[in-house]
């Protein structure tokens, strides 16, 4: 009797990390359900076969989620790894954020991710095994000028993932949050919405950050191919991490942020603890 390769269900497979991860998973001999909006063989550069299923999926559409999960189970009989990669960035100053743009980003980055996970969880529970990978960002730890709403969506996924991990760990299910820093993908050109800042007071903060993002496009330090190899390595590890930082920039910025937080907690520890009842 032969053991079949695990099945990876990957959202947002039309470009960037998602597309690179599809190719990487296939190289590792895994079976893959590649999903994305209006996904075609031209998008992935691969032909569906015994180890690859292509499905159209907009995670902000509940009916499409149910249909895609059902099709994946009908084709492969199981899902072992869910990679919640679908999402996009949004830049604006906090004050100038567009309400419709903000809500749409949360529909995809948060509510779509939540809904897809809920659709897959019953099958992982039944197996008493599985892995959920949530692609967040260094913005899930650090809010930067011009990135407030994007950071808010990623912070939300980080907190939700902490709760999810505590609930499913006793069931044999792992949860890993992948937090990339700047990588050389087409994120800034294809996966970033922008509301330009017109308020002079934000010229040196939000507006400057938006300009820097555009300038750095195509020159980031991160290598997407190495990143997706790291994701596969983490999932296949006997002790997978709950947080996987990708890129030297992400490691440096997150460490600095956590160190500042710990120092501030200690500085204000007396005041904080003094708020307890004394009896």
Q: State the residue for tokens 């989620």.
A: 65
End-to-end CA distance of the chain, in Å? 65
d(CA 138, CA 141): 6
3-class secondary structure per residue, 152-211: HHHHHHHHHHHHHHHHHHHHCEEEEEEEECCECCCHHHHCEEECCCCCHHHCCCHHHHHH
Token output for 254: 């997150």
Q: Does residue 7 sit in helix, strand or coil? A: strand
C-beta of residue 249 within 8 angstroms of C-beta of residue 221: yes
Query: Is 202 among the catalytic positions?
Result: no
Choose the catalytic residue: 88, 90, 149, 150.
150
209-218: b or e for each residue (b if 16 or more CB lie within 10 Å)? Answer: bbeebeeebe
| DSSP per-residue string spanning 75-120 | HHS---EEEE----EEEB-TTT--HHHHHHHHIIIIIIHHHHHHHH
Q: Is 10 left (phi over 0), alpha (psi -120 to 50) or beta?
A: beta
Task: Catalogue the active-site residues.
Answer: 150
């Amino acid at each position: 009797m032969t053991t079949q390769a695990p099945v990876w269900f990957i959202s947002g497979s039309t470009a960037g990390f998602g597309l690179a991860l599809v190719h990487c998973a296939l190289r590792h001999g895994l079976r893959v359900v590649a999903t994305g909006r209006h996904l075609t063989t031209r998008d992935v550069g691969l032909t569906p076969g015994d180890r690859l299923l292509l499905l159209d999926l907009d995670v902000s559409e509940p009916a499409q989620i149910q249909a895609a999960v059902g099709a994946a189970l009908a084709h492969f009989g199981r899902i072992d790894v869910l990679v919640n990669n679908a999402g996009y960035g949004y830049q604006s100053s906090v004050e100038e954020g567009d309400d419709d743009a903000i809500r749409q980003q949360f529909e995809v980055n948060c509510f779509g991710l939540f809904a897809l996970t809920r659709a897959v969880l019953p099958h992982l529970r039944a197996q008493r095994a599985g892995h959920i990978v949530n692609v967040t960002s260094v913005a899930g730890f650090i809010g930067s000028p011009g990135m407030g709403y994007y950071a808010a969506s990623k912070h939300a996924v980080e907190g939700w993932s902490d709760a999810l991990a505590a609930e499913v760990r006793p069931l044999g299910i792992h949860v890993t949050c992948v937090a990339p820093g700047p990588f050389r993908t087409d994120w800034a050109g294809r996966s970033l919405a922008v509301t330009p800042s017109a308020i002079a007071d934000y010229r040196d903060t939000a507006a400057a950050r938006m300009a820097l993002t555009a300038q750095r496009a195509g020159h980031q330090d991160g290598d997407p191919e190495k990143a997706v190899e790291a994701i596969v390595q983490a999932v296949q590890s006997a002790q997978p991490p709950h947080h996987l930082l990708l890129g030297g920039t992400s490691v440096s910025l997150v460490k600095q942020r956590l160190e500042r937080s710990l120092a501030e907690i200690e500085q204000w520890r007396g005041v904080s603890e003094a708020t307890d009842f004394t009896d």
